[in-house]
Structure 1
Amino acid sequence: MMKMSRKVEILEQVQETMEEVKPVKKQNVMTVEDLPGVGPATAEKLKESGFDTLLSLAVASPGELVEAGGLTEATARKVIKAARDTMNMGFESGEEVFEKRKNIMKITTCAKGLDALFGGGIESGAITECYGEFGCLTPDARITLADGRVVPIGNIAGNKSAGTYPINIDVLTREKDSIIKVKATNLFIYDCNHVLKVILNDGRQLSVTPNHPLMTDRGWIEAKDLTVDDNLVIVNDYEFSKEEVKLSGITPSKNVRVKVDLPKKLNPRLSKILGYLVGEGWKETNPHLTDTGNVYRLSYASKTKVLLDDWKTNVKEVFGLESNYRRTDKTSTETWAIDSVMVGEFMRQFNNLYELAPKKRVPQQVFESPKDVVTEFLAALYDSEGHALLDLTVREREHTRVSSNGQLLIYKYKLPNYGRDIGLKSSSLGLLQDVQILLTKLGIKSWINHFTSKKTSKLTGKNFVEHKLHITQEESINKFYDEVGNKTLRVRDGIKKVLNSYKRHVNSPFNYNKIKEIILMENPFGKVYDIEVPETHSFIANGILSHNSGKSSIAHQLAVSTQLPREQGGAEGMVVWLDTESTFRPERIKQICEGRGLDVSTTLKNIKVARCFNSDHQMLLAEKVEDLIKEGNNIKLVIVDSLMSHFRADFSGRGQLADRQQKLNKHMHALQKLGTSYNVAIYVTNQVMSKPDTFFGDPTAAIGGHIVGHNSTYRVYLRKGKKGTRVAKMIDAPHLPDTEAIFQVTEKGIEDV
């Protein structure tokens, strides 16, 4: 039986060879059933497996038809050959190809520079791949969560291997001048052997990949291009209220001669007036004023002209009133006042403001205010009652002790004072304790001591106990300057002198820290991490703002622009989104539509979204797109975001690399076939990995190797640019130069800079 079977197989192969040599007589073959060797039952099996057109059979392999239709290999080859002959799949002239390419569509990105990079837009019938730098952090980088906790990003990842993992974590980030709560949806883990450790003067440090950009006083700079002359922007993510405190108004009586438009909220200027009054202010009353209250004057006194001018400016801005000059005493201290019953009674709502000096406190409304309101209050208070002490004089000192034989020993030596102190004096201990709480919220350490004043009380005629709040540590003095001191007018120069005595330069604006050292080092963890925040593409790590790339941003824009009319750069078609990382956000589609005046409901209905859960599911859904087209859906764009996420997770280690690449190759050919057969644009996003053997140039490469590289018609590399922009660089294209385009992501989507 074995010999007979072998004989039949040999005869079939000989017959097949003879048929290939003989000229084939052309037949009028129109359907799968008309092909030689394909009966109704076999045709049904082939159609169920997706081989329902002559093209699908012509580009199939014999093994695929054997598995799908139960054919012998010889019959499968005969079917493939007949399909190819029928379709006349031979050579064609360049002119014919040129004519066919006139049917190619170009889908706009809505940014002219980016469209020019792609030769007019994203091309149909081709695969366009965009991949971005990972710009990641080592696992010890601490992420600020929305509930105030600060956790290492490595703790979020656990013991996971390189890949992409869905997460659902609320984090804090900065958008413009606000800190907001946003949701992180994906965790990315990459293998990486080398990182840069960036060390700041205040001791803060962050280890990042060389291409990770950090915000400096000269804009976004990649870590590898930073120098010790750069100052990094630090985001203070301390929890303060986001809204100004609403204030109570008063109803003026008929006897009030000048009505004042009172502020409805505690704003920074009003907070500064409060700081001046708590420091060197007082009220004056009139017992005859009973219908509206008896406070008719608020006075402020100072020797410093710049403070008096600032007082007058803020009073004018807040209340629309001119301050009135009252007097100048023998110490050259001038007094200026607000003469208004309405203002006097309005300010009564600030607790303890009208108490005598020993009982003054920080008003409760300040504790409930945004940080800028808090720091303006502190700046005015320190300008009124604070000082900056610097005493580096050398004094002779002596130390005495009695020796074992009873002899008195005297040791004399010289020692600098090293007196550096940012101080605030008050006869109210409660006031200083309140200020200390606010300083603690700003990360500033302080301490309080007590002493008997040399002055005498005007009430008792006796010396009284005074209290003093000290900021003496170098780090805390530096923080105080950054948060409060640079807003002061009288003590600012003194604080600068104190800081300069530490041989540092304090010429940076608010929230800058100078780089002390940058070290290239081996990554002791072997991996780097990143999280994706779809809403803002940013999060805070060690106080530094970190951004994601713009791959998904372009995808959302294309999902909208594909539906535009042809004359506007669209394709007047529908979109399929294969979502492997849970990156599709209908909220973002809605935002783009509203920004461009498009109908949100219609646009969302024309986007078919499928969540892929593994690589097999991803491949199956890609094949199902053809069914959607055959059902009459006018699909013109297929988005795969991202291409390699599941392939990396399903095939880990070098032992499974060959299997992964073989499967990936099949997936890429299915996408290419889909694009070519139905003139559909294919847009895929990809991840990157570190190349440890690269010592010059970009140490990253797209994942997927040659399989992805050779099957992608256009390959574009995305990175962050200056001032929040993005840079796209053409890496590979059949006929386009390797140029760059700069664009930005706005509420309207992708736009030119």
Structure 2
Amino acid sequence: MRMVELEELDGVGPAIAEKLRQAGYDSIESIAVATTGELMEAIEIGMRQAVKIINAAREASKMGYERAIDVFERRKNLARITTGSQTLDRILGGGVETLGVTELFGEFGSGKCVAGDTPVLYFNSSVPHLESIEEVYRKYERISGETPFENGFVVRTPDLEVIGFVDGGFKKIRAPMLYRERVGRVLRLRTRRGRMLELSGMHMLLTFDGGLKWKRAFELGVGDLVAVPKTMGEWSDARSGIGEDDAYFLGFFVAEGTRNPLSVTTSDGRLRDWIVGYVERRFGFSPTVVEVRRKSVAHQILLRKKVADELLGELSLKKSGEKRVPESVLAGDLNVVRAFLAGYLEGDGYLSDGTVEVTTKSKRLATEVGYLFLRIGIHVTKSVKNVRGERYFRLFITGDDRYKLEDLPFKSKVAPRRSRAKAQRHGYPGEMAAYLRDLYKKTLGGGRGSLPKLAEWKPNRGETFYHVLTRSRFDEIEMTETTFARVKEFFEEGFKRLAQLRQELPGLTWEGFRKFYRRLPFSFRGSMRNAGFSGSSVSNFLWRGPKDQEFMDRVKEALRREIDRRLEILADGLRTIGMISELRWDRIEKIETVPYDGFVYDFVVPEGHTFIGGDLPTVMHNSQIAHQLCVNVQLPPEQGGLGGRAVFIDTENTFRPERISQMAMAVGVDPKVILDGIYVARAHTTDHQMLLAEKVSDMAKTDGIKLLVIDSLTALFRTEYCGRGALAERQQKLGRHIAELHKVAELNGMAVVVTNQVQARPDVFFGDPTRPVGGHVLGHAVTARVYLKKAKANSRTATLVDHPCMPPETATFQITEAGIRD
């Protein structure tokens, strides 16, 4: 079935065709149902020509009727793409079919929320703020009001940014909306370092389980890891308006200042002299100093109202339990932050070579100081103690982080002295040592016998990194930052070595081969045996030379494939190591379900879907079948593919080439070949998404496209058309989009797969209270609908909800490192 172009109609040339399209007549059907008067007025032509064009369109439209027997014969050519799971293929009638649109829908982020008192870091007009997520919601609700949305409400936050984890690093990203819904219970997670997170079971946290993975809170257990940012660095473009001396004084006042009388107190003579000199320089008066008796003599420095008016502001009125970090410090550069922390530690801190500790009655201050420390790469451990019925919040700095205090401009105290690096309680966890050791075995180590190894025992026996890579007992010990950096450097050097060997290989003669193979970081004999060479033929080759040039070429080709395989694994490993190096880790000590009768909240973050929040900074947040189909469509028909290419329209930043590489290697295909056969486009608006989909028809003619994936179909529609008032317009536009996708599939003989999400139905009390987004417009338009749900471990259940030929049925499959499998 071929679509007739406007230019093919009798009486329509290029100029008339362009006028018709500009007037909205972009198909022969739209012309066929037009009246003569409408067409005359729209494109300014005479009656005779208008009648001629309409008749030609109606004649051409007759091609829309076919005999059922012709449709039956044409559908014999229908092709299918395997999903990778035989049970899933079976319920689909053999796989995902061409000439139609298949919808995969599963759990949506509604319900992925945190409790209202969760502190969050956000920016508007580049100015940083650290407030509870409920405070942020109410602030924007007062500005723009809230709109009903799915199971709750949203407020628009057009100028708001958060810090998110994107492409292996942290950066400021837009959060155009803030969502809330009411729940009756939440999960409460407490970690080793004192984090207390209250969130819904569906909320996702970044963890480590044989690699970096996002997991829902209900999937986590005691002992699991939770990712936190390694540092937050410079987070503001704004100028705070205060200098380092001001920041130091503010830090000291937060620690030791009182409001009645307005004063600061210290028992240190050097600090007394500095503060008196600062007040004289900054405010132009000499403060009164009064000696007071405590356990020892202390100096109370009395301040005047001018200090409050020009610098302290509301801070001069705060009680000890109400104190907080001034906004001018939050907005300051790193020098301002260091000066504030130096003043705060000299006033309220205990520093020794073993421990650094500060204590405060203000919960908010403890949270804000924790964020400030992270800006200079220092992680704190938090605890709470009760003294005579009052709560005190204690912050501890341990391990290598203590030595980073050397950069703080102390006036009197001395930072802890640096000692030899050793294992520590809050370093890189043992699970990462196991991952690194496995990566070493797969790429740069093992099976060399007496030949030189990349990581030799003698020169490295005193180096911790060597034992991490070669000794399983280090799985129980946490690595220091220094050790992890050395491991990262080792793998980078190994990658360069392998790449250099790969470059030298084509021009190698047998005379140079014996020296060459000794430089390989892996077993040459073992790799040749795996490639099908016998042990004797390899030995003869090494000692006597190749039988002929053909044998030499076979050896080179086998070695090239082995080096390429290891380089691919190593490249993926280095990407993971790079991301790990941007993170630090905490471990869950307790997790429980607690009653919670109130609202939970979540930022809508289109890019990356993450934000930094929590009382201590934490990284807070499935497209697997779509990725697998992009690989499988490129396989030959005998392996369940179509021998064609794929287009992936990404609306939520979910496409991951690393995952494609894993799946490609699992089916024995060069990942570079597979990646070269996938065209990826990031859609930013609904109009952009629709235009990208329409363009696929042109690409199909020249690039052999056999699969179009849109992940996800409805995400941008939900963001742009928010609230019940926009529902009709959204559904009309979505209907046009689906109709275009059907046209693309049928005219080009390709498969179209769209992912979607489900939303909860609050009116359903029995059975499954979820339904896919998109309503009847989407439900009646797609060819097949598959509902995906999480089962145990990495298993998923797929229920065929609707199909023109197959009965409803359920299949179970697994998501493995290799991809979709039974």
Larger radius of gyration: 1
TM-score (norm 1): 0.48
* Higher helix fraction (1 or 2): 2
